Amino acid sequence: MDASGASARSTSSADGCAAGERRRHIETRDTGIIYTAAVIFPSTIVDWSGFLARPGMAPPTRSMLEGLRKAPILVLGAGGSIGSALALRVAALEPPKLVLLEASESHLDALQRQWAQARIAVPTVFHLGSVADRSLLEEIFALHAPALVFHAAAFKYVPLLEEQPLAAIENNVFGTLTLMEAAAGARVLLLSTDKAVEPASVLGATKRVAEQIVLSAGGAALRLGNVLASRGSVAEVFAHQIAAGGPLTLTDPTARRYFLTLDEAVNLLLSAALEPEPPVLLAPTLPDPHCIADLARFMIQELAPGHTIPVDVTGLRAGDKETETFWSAAETARPAKNQGLLSIASPILARGKLRSALVQLRTALEARDLPGALHLLQALVPGYTPSPAVLALAAANTPRVPA
């Protein structure tokens, strides 16, 4: 996400990224109510094609998806925006059983109510719990024997995780490791992010380690960009800010991101699950990234036509980069088997070195030793550049000495 509620340092017209231009002027704010509809998922009221300015990515055909109907499927993080949309699509395939795990009580409750309202007949088992709960995962695999696992359970908010790096390591790294150790021969597809490429954030670094864990165990990972109107996304933040009459908070007028719709994200996950030769690291085939300032302007036009909404430039937050990419200079990409996907050749640590580093990282985590954990995270992800905020947090940290 690239919007922030922080107090503004300057004000911009959000008129694009050209030449890094930063025009400073204050726009007149309309004092009336701009947009009063409940803002939960703006994808239901916004036609994103006008912003994306490209054809929608083609979904996999029903015949292509036939293979996913043969065995139980497990979705982790099933109450999130992507997880719940994916769960509904998987249910439409009518697998013999669908198992849904979610750590948030409110999100799981909402998912169960959605299931009841849709009258979904597929045998479905709901579990409230964490991906880091080894006993729960072992029970799920013993009872339900899922053959395919979509791993969408992660902490994902960049600024928050810069303040809570140990929690990010616990959930994103060791939750993934716990899953792979419990998976018992199931195929695992990790939902990753472009922020894992030469990361500048704890989120990106922990997701890169998660990629290595999954790939070294024979699974697959899919890097996605920013999913429009997913919970907590910049589009949802902009919609709430427009509803309040502004201002929209823009981190940087030059910032660019890859954007795709929620439907496209689900289609890509289903297509990735069909790739025949794991371990494989995948990414979408997308044209150039979009300017976030253009998204702000587009949403103002869509949700508040005829009104003037101020846009405040707040500056890049801890962990933010100006532009994200889907692969690094050390990686190479080629077309994957399924349309819309790229297969990325990516160097990963040898299994022995990875295992040893994770043991040391677990020791640092249990001791609440942030400097040690950060050092090990950099060893696991050589391209990781910690933010000044995380370095300052580590410098102020006093590890707990075991009794």
Question: Would residue 70 show up in a list of annotated catalytic residues for this protein?
Answer: no
User: How many residues are recorded in the chain?
Assistant: 403
Asked whether the CA dihedral 104, 110, 114, 117 is positive or negative, the reply is: positive
Strands (E), 174-279: 187-193, 220-224, 226-227, 248-250, 256-257, 259-260
Q: For residue 79, what is the DSSP state?
A: T
Angle between helices 351-366 and 202-216 in degrees, nearest 10: 140
* Cα–Cα nearest to 231, from 75, 57, 43: 43
Tell me the C-alpha distance between 143 and 138, whole Å.
9
Residue with tokens 């979509």: 150
Write the single-letter amino acid at 129.
G
Which among 111, 145, 151 has a CA at the least distance from the CA of 131? 151
Chain position carrying tokens 């890094």: 20
Q: Which helix (DSSP H) or strand (DSSP E) does residue 125 occupy? A: strand 124-128
Q: Among the options 156, 195, 207, 321, which is catalytic?
A: 195
Q: SS3 for 309?
A: coil
Pairing of β 256-257 and β 332-335: unpaired
**Cβ proximity of 360 and 209 under 8 Å:** no
Query: What are the backbone angles phi and psi of residue 237, rounded to the nearest 5°?
Result: -60, -45
Q: Which residues pair with 323 in a beta bridge?
A: 256
DSSP 326: S
- Helix axis angle, 388-395 to 370-380, nearest 10°: 140
Q: Please count the other Cβ atoms lying within 10 Å of the Cβ belonging to residue 287.
A: 9
Pairing of strands 259-260, 290-291: unpaired
Residues taking part in catalysis: 195
